Amino acid sequence: MTYKNPPTTPRKSATFDDYTLSEIRRAAQTGIYDIRGAGAKRKLPHFDDLLFLGASISRYPLEGYRERCDTSVVLGSRHAKKPIELKIPITIAGMSFGSLSGPAKEALGRGATLSGTSTTTGDGGMTEEERGHSKQLVYQYLPSRYGMNPRDLRRADAIEVVVGQGAKPGGGGMLLGQKISDRVAEMRTLPKGIDQRSASRHPDWTGPDDLEIKILELREITDWEKPIYVKVGGARPYYDTALAVKAGADVVVVDGMQGGTAATQEVFIENVGQPTLACIRPAVQALQDLGMHRKVQLIVSGGIRNGADVAKALALGVDAVSIGTAALVALGDNDPRWEAEYNALGTTAGAYDDWHEGRDPAGITTQDPELMKRVDPIAAGRRLANYLKVMTLEAQTIARACGKNSLHNLEPEDLVALTIEAAAMAGVPLAGTNWIPGKNGF
C-alpha cells in the first residue's frame, strides 16, 4: 500500500491578497496609478470603537421627546460681526461644482437649508444653484482660486481657507478632462477637456505667519463681517489647530482620512493622514492649551455617518461635524437601484468610487446632461433633510440618556473605548477599566 500525502487547502497570502494582486496587474497593464474618489476604505479605529455609558445612579437621564435637548451652535463668534447660527451641529462639507453636478449642488443647498444648517462650495467656485438655494453658504478659498472673486466673497456667509483635506493632506485636486464641460471650463478659466490640476498649496502665502496676513486681507475685503474658517487635513492636528488659531481663524475644520475627495491617487488616500478619531483630542487639546476651546469653534469631518458619531465627536470636545460622503449617499449615491449600470462599469453599488470619470449612474458626480437629470434637486434635498433630522434625533436620544440638555454638554467622561487603540486616541478609558493608555505614565 502506497502512502499518499494528504493535500493542503490552497492558501492565499495575507500580504498579497486578491485586491493587492489585482492592483499590481492593473498597474502593470496601464502604467498609471489608480485614481478614485471617496476617502480611506481600510478599516481604521473609529467612533464604532467608543460607547456611551448612559445614565446610572450618579447621573440621571432626561425624558426622551419631552425634556429639551439643545442642538444649536454658533460658529465664528471670535472676530466676525456676523457669526453663523446653525440649528444643528451637522454641516455639509465643501464639494465642488465640477466634481458634482449642478442639480446635486442645488440638492445639498436645499437639504441644508431645510435643516437649518450650512453648506459649502468647493474648488469650482460659487454657482447660482447653491447660492440661491442655501440660506447659509460657506465659500471655500482654495489654492486654485478657480472662480474666486470679491462679489462672491461678499455674498458668502462665511469663508473657509482650505489648507488641506483629510483624503489627501498635502495633495492638490484633480478633475479629469471628461468632466470639463463648457460651463466648468468657463468657471475655471481653462480649456475644455483638459485635465485640471488644482494646486496643492496657495499661490500667495506659505506658513502660519503669511496665513495671518492672508486672513487679515480677507477680513478687510469683507469688512470683518464673515466668519473665517481654516480647514486642514488630519496631518498634525495639534499644531495645525494651534497655528490656525494663532493666524486668527474663527473656526478650525479638521478633516480625517476617511473624509472623501472627488479624485486622488488610491495610494495617497489610504496612506497619508490620520484617522478622524485620532485627530479630535489633539485638536481639542490645542484649543484648551490656548484657552480658546469654545471661543474658536472646532468642526470635525471624515466618516461621520449617524447620530452616534455626531454625539461622540461632540463629547470629545468638537463644536460641530461636517458630512460629505454621507450627504451624497442621502442624495442617492451608490444606490442599489442602479446596480445593473454599476455592474456595466465593472463595480457594484456601495463600491462605486470612480467619481472622476463622470459616468456616475446616480447623476451626482457627473457633468453628463442626461445622467444629471436623474437627480431631482427637490426630492434629493428632502432626503438629505430627512437624514440630517434622523442624525440629530439620534444624537439627542444619546445626550438625553446621558442626562444632557444640550448636545454640547456631552463630555469625554460619558465615553469608554472598546479597544486599546481607540482608548489611546480618544483619551477615554478602555471599557471595564480606568485605564487611559498614555495617561499617568502607562
| d(C-alpha 161, C-alpha 231), whole Å | 6
CA-to-CA dists, residue 319 to 226, 259, 278, 409, angstroms = 18, 18, 17, 10
Residue 210 CB, shortest distance to other proteins, in Å, is 8
- Among 272, 95, 90, 97, which residue's Cα sits nearest to residue 167? 272
Q: How far is the CB of 399 from other proteins (least distance, A)?
A: 41
Give the count of beta carbons closer than 10 Å to the beta carbon of residue 220. 9
Residue of 80, 84, 77 whose CA lies nearest to 215: 80
Least distance in Å: CB of 38 to other proteins? Answer: 20
The set of long-range contacts for 435-438, using a CB threshold of 8 Å and a minimum separation of 24, is: none
Nearer to other proteins, 143 or 256 (CB): 143
Give me the residues that bind other proteins (CB under 8 A), please.
30-32, 144-145, 148-151, 153, 176-177, 188-191, 193-195, 197, 199, 203-205, 210, 213-214, 216-217, 220-224
Q: Is the Cβ of residue 147 or residue 273 nearer to other proteins in the bound state?
A: 147
- C-beta closer to other proteins: residue 190 or 345: 190
Nearer to other proteins, 220 or 370 (CB): 220
**Cβ closer to other proteins: 32 or 340?**
32
Looking at beta carbons only, is 204 or 289 nearer to other proteins?
204
Compute the least distance from the CB of residue 179 to other proteins, in Å: 13
| CB nearer other proteins, residue 46 or residue 219 | 219
Q: Between 145 and 293, whose beta carbon lies closer to other proteins? A: 145
CB of 79 to other proteins, least distance (A): 12
Nearest distance from C-beta of residue 191 to other proteins, angstroms? 6
- Three cell numbers, residue 118: 450650512
Question: Considering beta carbons, is residue 205 or 352 the nearer one to other proteins?
Answer: 205
* Least spacing, CB of residue 144 vs other proteins, in Å: 7
Residue among 71 and 222 whose Cβ is closer to other proteins: 222
User: What's the closest the beta carbon of residue 423 comes to other proteins, in angstroms?
Assistant: 43
Write down the least CB distance from residue 193 to other proteins, Å: 8
CA distance 125 to 108: 15
Shortest reach from residue 178's CB to other proteins, in Å: 10
